[in-house]
Amino acid sequence: MKSKSTQASAAALFGAGLIGLTALVAATPAAAIEIRADVVVDMTPMGENVPKPTREKPAYYLPVPGGYQELGGIFRRKVPPPPPEAEIEEIFTRALAEQGYLPATAKTPPSLIISYTWGRILPILVGRGKLAVVQNEADMLSMVAGDKLDARSTNHPSAWMSEILTNERRPQRFLKVMAFDYNAWKNHRTVLLWQAHVTTPGILVTNIMPTLIEAAAPALGSGTARPIIATVPFIPPGSVIAGTPRYKSP
């Protein structure tokens, strides 16, 4: 298993990757809208031993798209319909390929199964104001922080955990990606290697998924020591914005 210092280095490298990421968008500068994206990747002990692929040494996977989901509370406000699932799957496949993950073929059998879902999740609040309890707290915390919850057990949580605890009370758009060992699956065993969550507060912007996919891609297959908060350019449908994401340390 990687040490905490190695995990911290992976998080730092991911931050650097976000800083260097250039979104391909061609529109006027005024069209460049920035959003917040929170990314967290949890590695399992088995996943720690699997090398992260590159474009030169790719890993081949069997895709299992889970489609669009609406989770948590009741969505009372009418919002535009989500983009077609085929469109999201195409964007996701391209983003994975940039990171060295390629769909399996007859000549290149899979070593991984990659499952992914996307959609929106609302907190279920019971009560009013600051005293309101988040009834689906476990689901909200998992979505915005993965399993990075150790600081929550202290009386004086860290700044980043305080941010997470605030964020769990906000509606979120999300992308969830999970990687499993293919050979174990063939033998009727489920072996999770890693899982990634990327979220952004708010649920009214409908075409947010290309932006969340681009934000998540550099971290897939390498753990983050804690949730990474990034400022990334929103990618409007059908346009291309030139912008540089900014890494923000909470």
Query: Tens of pLDDT along 46-72?
Result: 999 999 999 999 999 999 999 999 888
**89, 209 Cβ separation under 8 angstroms:** no
- Highest mean pLDDT among 3-17, 59-73, 200-214 belongs to 59-73
Residue 145 is assigned to a structural domain of this protein: yes
Evaluate whether residue 22 is within a structural domain.
yes
| pLDDT exceeds 80 at position 155 | no
Q: Which residue has the higher pLDDT, 204 or 198?
A: 198
Rounded to whole angstroms, how far apart are CA atoms 240 and 110?
A: 33
Structural domain of 95: 4-243
CB 212 within 8 A of CB 232: no
User: What is the count of structural domains for the chain?
Assistant: 1
**Looking at per-residue confidence, does 82 or 40 come out higher?**
40
Nearest to 223 by CA among 92, 43, 78: 43
- Interatomic CA distance for residues 197 and 145, integer angstroms: 8
Give me the percent of the chain exceeding a pLDDT of 90.
37
